[in-house]
Amino acid sequence: MALRFLHRDDTVTELTYADLAERTSRFAEALGSLGVGRGERVVTLAGRVPELYVAALGTLKAGAVFCPLFSAFGPEPIHQRLEKGNVAVLVTTTSLYRRKVAGIRDRPPSCVTCC
């Protein structure tokens, strides 16, 4: 088992090495289809969920730079990091997007895409 994740409702997600390889390759391909190239920054705003690890490893597979953001940051610190970091893609969860990113979505001119 490559990854075992215990959710708050006590359900368990388990990913084998093959699952992880397939998901990270798919994520790397998605970044490529968004035009993310080698050395570009991919930022994540997420808690410790399986998708965070898929994004981290997939970003590295794509040759991009993985940059995690602390999920307790408010909208303004997030905006500053997106703007100053020359971010290509922001990966976040639905709830964090609604609470922290939606209000600043039009502000970071350097961010290509939020997903």
DSSP string covering 37-74: -TT-EEEEE--S-HHHHHHHHHHHHTTPEEEEE-TT--
pLDDT score recorded for residue 14:
95
pLDDT score recorded for residue 111:
57
pLDDT at 115 over 60: no
Residue 57 lies in a domain: yes
Residue 29 lies in a domain: yes
Residue 50 lies in a domain: yes
Do the Cβ atoms of 106 and 83 come closer than 8 Å?
no
- Domain extent at residue 27: 16-114
Tell me the pLDDT tens digit for each residue of 58-95.
Answer: 999 999 999 999 989 999 999 889 888 888 999 999 99
Residue 44 lies in a domain: yes
Distances (CA, A) of 79 to 1, 14, 64, 84, 87: 37, 34, 20, 8, 11
- For the chain, the farthest-separated pair of C-alpha atoms sits apart, in whole angstroms, at 41
- Report how many domains make up the chain: 1
Distance CA 47, CA 36 (A): 23
Confidence of residue 113 (pLDDT cuts 50, 70, 90): low
Count CB neighbours of 68 within 10 A. 14
| CATH number of 86's domain | 3.40.50.980
Residue 11 lies in a domain: no
Residue 105 lies in a domain: yes
Distance CA 114, CA 32 (A): 14
Instruction: Write down the pTM of the prediction.
Output: 0.87
Residue 83 lies in a domain: yes
Residue 1 lies in a domain: no
